[in-house]
Amino acid sequence: MTARLDWYGCATFSLRTAGLTIFLDAYIDRPDGAEGTGLTASDITEADWILIGHSHFDHLWGAERILANTNATLIGSYESVRVMERQGVPLERMICVAGGEKIDLSPEVAVSVYPSQHSCVWSHAEMQEPDVVCLGDLDVRWHEQQDRFVDLMNYLTKETSDATQAHIVDSQPGHSERGDGGALIYLLETPSGSVLFQDTSGHWEGVMETIQPDVAILAAAGRGNIDGEPIQGSLAQFVARQVELLKPKTVVFGHHDNWMPGFSIPVNTEPIVREISQVDPTVEVLEPGYLAGTEILQ
């Protein structure tokens, strides 16, 4: 039995295994001029489960349409469920989690939920290349982080392209008003092996070192967050540290395309791959294009 992975851009994937189609995040729509598949969430008609990493629009928006078009069940934070209920999704089609839960998706597939951290998005207005070393921003308290995030949203809604601004306005009905809602990571156990899904560059070190997946889907964008503080180093070093903790056989990157021009960049993954090879040269790094149907487990 195999497991096949399709990338829809940003941090959204679908995993097909053991007769299930499992969406990992649900953000598929893109502003004009952005990289992507050309599809929208409304085009999705096959899904059994949707696992949402956190509640920001570029992860959650679209889930309401996938749920409307399929018989899928959504698993996400209490904030993600609140947002989806506001969009008319019945509560019985959703499961609230906070980390620590294990859920059977079928007799052959289960998912374990772990608490995580969001990247330090408040520390920058635009993405940096992965080999750029970022220092400082330590011990920035919650209120200042919120003020910086407001500044970021003002920039996105006033100083980016008309297409990006319109896209952000369109996404607001599915956007959380209460931050990321608590970032989560998921470990899927399948007949072919295990798959870790992470949709933003942050983690608790004590959590990550307890998980050893066969395949790790790791976010490769932004300023890494380690135990609540921004990494004093580069994104490449952050991702390599995660590989060191997780010890996967295979790594797949996510969130690394130019999904929202004016904020995102097309990440050059070569520095990340080099850092990973220094940690463990046996790790296979897969970089599939959109909708490539990549076999990740055999």
The per-residue pLDDT for range 186-216, each reduced to its tens digit, is 999 999 999 999 999 999 999 999 999 999 9
pLDDT at 176 over 70: no
For residue 45, being part of any structural domain is answered with yes
For residue 271, being part of any structural domain is answered with yes
Give the span between the Cα atoms of 286 and 256, in whole angstroms.
13
Give the span between the Cα atoms of 236 and 247, in whole angstroms.
16
For residue 94, being part of any structural domain is answered with yes
Which residues, including other chains, have CB under 8 Å from residue 132's CB and lie 6 or more apart?
Answer: 234, 235
For residue 15, being part of any structural domain is answered with yes
Q: Match 């989806």 to its residue by tokens.
A: 84
Return the pLDDT at 140. Answer: 96
The enclosing domain of 199 has a CATH number of: 3.60.15.10
Beta bridge partners of 225: 202, 230
Average pLDDT over residues 3-16: 98
Determine phi and psi for 198, rounding to 5 degrees: -130, 135
pLDDT over 70, % of the chain: 98
Question: Which of 227, 224, 223, 187 has its CA nearest to residue 204?
Answer: 227
Q: Residue 159 corresponds to which tokens in the numbers above? A: 């100083």
Total domains, the chain: 1
Computed on alpha carbons and rounded to an integer, the radius of gyration of the chain in Å comes to: 18
Residues across the chain? 298
For residue 153, being part of any structural domain is answered with yes
Give the span between the Cα atoms of 280 and 217, in whole angstroms.
16
pLDDT at 109 over 70: yes
For residue 144, being part of any structural domain is answered with no
Q: Which domain holds residue 187?
A: 3-138+149-297
Region for residue 291 given its phi and psi (left: phi exceeds 0; alpha: psi -120 to 50; beta: otherwise): left
Return the pLDDT at 174. Answer: 59
pTM: 0.96
For residue 179, being part of any structural domain is answered with yes
For residue 127, being part of any structural domain is answered with yes
Residue scoring higher pLDDT (271 or 2): 271
